[in-house]
């Protein structure tokens, strides 16, 4: 059984950005403030079971996984993990910039890159390897919940080595907007969310930060406890001083 608290390294858009507000409203939860958000009134009337359709991603909030949730290894501390995040952003790969779109992925709807991004894959790989020393080994129950029988041999190998099957070439950046949908509902809900996303007129998205998330116990949702700004290529090339990491302190 999972040990708590659990932590994760995610990407989240800036708290007051149009994209963050879009995701929070659709999921009914704001990961920055740790509180419920009202669903758009017209959406709730169009899809009367919207709360149920978004129940699973609501527990995690609007995010993209870079290092999947983990319990702390023996001897590891939250303070040391936070310091590792600060150190990481000073030397992390360059900031990826993607063209975001809304698409279906494995039966759910998510914001994804319109085309693959090698820079984004490099960032995710660096997060997987850099923070793995803080991760406690999976328990047998946690491993079983990943349903290894349904995974490929490569994915099982990654699960056992890195605690998560979808890393390296298996990684797919996605910011989830719904739970897994019945096949007959995917097309109309995808069309609806694509129309809403188009109103943001978001032609590109810089993956410009990592966020440290914490889940205090199984009954609680994940919440941002720190954000850390990545350095741009221009800053690196100019030798500019490192920006102070953005931090959100919560008890």
pLDDT digit string (tens) for 163-196? Answer: 999 999 999 999 999 999 999 999 999 999 999 9
Question: pLDDT tens digits, residue range 111-127?
Answer: 999 999 999 999 999 99
Structural domain for 74, as ranges? 6-98+114-179+207-238
> 223 with 34: CB under 8 angstroms?
yes
**108 inside domain:** no
In whole angstroms, what is the distance from residue 55 CA to residue 47 CA? 14
| Domain contains 189 | no
Whether residue 173 lies inside any domain: the answer is yes
Confirm if 15 and 8 have CB atoms less than 8 A apart: no
pLDDT for res 18: 97
Task: Please name the residue that has the structure tokens 């996984």.
Answer: 65
In this predicted model, what pLDDT tens digit does every residue of 145-157 receive, in sequence order? 999 999 999 999 9
pLDDT score recorded for residue 113: 98
In CATH, what number is assigned to the domain containing residue 77? Answer: 3.90.1140
- Rounded to two decimals, the pTM is 0.92
- Tell me what pLDDT residue 238 has: 55
CB 16 within 8 A of CB 3: no
Range from 9-23, 130-144, 227-241 carrying the lowest mean pLDDT = 227-241
Tokens at 79, concatenated: 């303070």
Q: For residue 107, is it within any domain?
A: no
Question: In this prediction, what percent of the chain has a pLDDT beyond 90?
Answer: 89
Beta bridge partners of residue 38, listed in sequence order? none
**pLDDT score at 158:** 98
- Asked, for residue 247, whether it belongs to a domain, the answer is no
Establish if 191 belongs to a structural domain: no
H or E element: which one contains 214? strand 209-215
Say yes or no to pLDDT of 208 above 60.
yes
pLDDT given at position 45: 86
How do residues 1-49 score in pLDDT, each as one tens digit? 679 999 999 999 999 999 999 999 999 999 999 999 999 999 988 999 9
Q: Is residue 1 part of a domain?
A: no
Number of independent structural domains in the chain: 1
Report pLDDT digits (tens) over 82-97: 999 999 999 998 999 9
In sequence order, which residues have a C-beta less than 8 Å from that of residue 26 and are 6 or more positions away?
39, 40, 43, 54, 62, 177, 193, 196
How far apart CA 74 and CA 62 sit, in angstroms, is 29
Q: Do the domain assignments include residue 128?
A: yes
């Amino acid at each position: 059984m999972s040990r708590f608290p659990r932590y994760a390294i995610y990407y989240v858009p800036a708290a007051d950005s149009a994209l963050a507000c879009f995701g929070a409203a659709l999921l009914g939860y704001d990961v920055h403030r740790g509180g419920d958000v009202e669903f758009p009134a017209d959406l709730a009337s169009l899809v009367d079971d919207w709360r149920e359709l978004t129940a699973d991603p609501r527990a995690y909030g609007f995010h993209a996984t870079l290092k999947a949730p983990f319990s702390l290894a023996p001897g590891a501390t939250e303070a040391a993990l936070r310091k590792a995040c600060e150190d990481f952003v000073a030397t992390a790969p360059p900031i990826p910039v993607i063209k975001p779109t809304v698409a279906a992925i494995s039966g759910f709807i998510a914001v994804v890159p319109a085309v693959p991004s090698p820079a984004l894959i490099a960032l995710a790989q660096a997060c997987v390897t850099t923070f793995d020393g803080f991760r406690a080994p999976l328990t047998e129950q946690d491993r079983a919940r990943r349903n290894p029988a349904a995974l490929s041999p490569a994915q099982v190998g990654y699960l056992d080595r890195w605690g998560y099957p979808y890393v390296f070439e298996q990684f797919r950046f996605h910011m989830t907007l719904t739970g897994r949908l019945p096949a007959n509902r995917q097309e109309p809900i995808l069309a609806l969310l694509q129309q809403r996303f188009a109103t943001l007129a978001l032609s590109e998205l810089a993956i410009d930060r990592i966020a440290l998330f914490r889940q205090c116990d199984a009954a609680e949702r994940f919440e941002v406890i720190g954000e850390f700004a990545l350095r741009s290529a221009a800053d690196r090339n100019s030798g500019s001083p490192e920006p102070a990491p953005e931090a959100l302190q919560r008890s």
